[in-house]
Amino acid sequence: MNKLHQTNIIYKRMLGIWKGFYKYDNDKIQKIIGYDKTEFEIVIDKFDGKNFSGEVNDDQNSGGMKETGQIFGRIENGKIYFEKLMPKDCQISENGDRKYSERNHPKIYYSGRLSNEKNKFEGNWKFKRKIGLLFFVIPIIYSPGNGTWEMEHKENSY
């Protein structure tokens, strides 16, 4: 099966339910989360052959955020790019306690590629960089985290 045919297969399967997980590259942060990986479910309900959108729910029982988020992305040449937007900011302390606020969560950027299994994407994610103040005076740019992810299409989901 050639690459173009493989890509056409996944295009036909974009709509529906995708189950996956993400994890942090930083072992210390992953340990604070309390789980080896955080599972999620994405429902893609709009796809025009290139751009897609849908909803995402993290599994709270594996360290995920509560609330339903939105995803907006595109797929081209077997590569996928999307943004995950969660409605409430969640900060996790060093002892694992979670604090939610009404501010929007920082955007999370996902990129990846179609795997050899042809119904799965895998790749990397990262938070949008933030500006903070060092010693409450010096502005610095930092990233709250990054890691890897995978998601697999669930057959007969649409």
pLDDT bucket at 22, cuts 50 / 70 / 90: very high
Full-prediction pTM beyond 0.75? yes
pLDDT of residue 158: 47
User: Can you give the chain as a three-state secondary structure string?
Assistant: CCHHHHHHHHHHCCCEEEEEEEEECCHHHHHHHCCCCEEEEEEEEEECCCEEEEEEEECHHHCCCCCCEEEEEEEECCEEEEEEECCCEEEECCCCCEEEECCCCCCEEEEEEECCCCCEEEEEEEECCEEEEECCCEEEEECCCEEEEEEEECCCCC
Instruction: Write out pLDDT tens, residues 25-41.
Output: 988 888 888 889 999 99
Instruction: Write out pLDDT tens, residues 66-97.
Output: 889 999 999 988 899 999 998 877 777 677 77
Instruction: Write out pLDDT tens, residues 111-153.
Output: 999 887 668 999 999 986 656 555 666 665 555 688 999 999 9
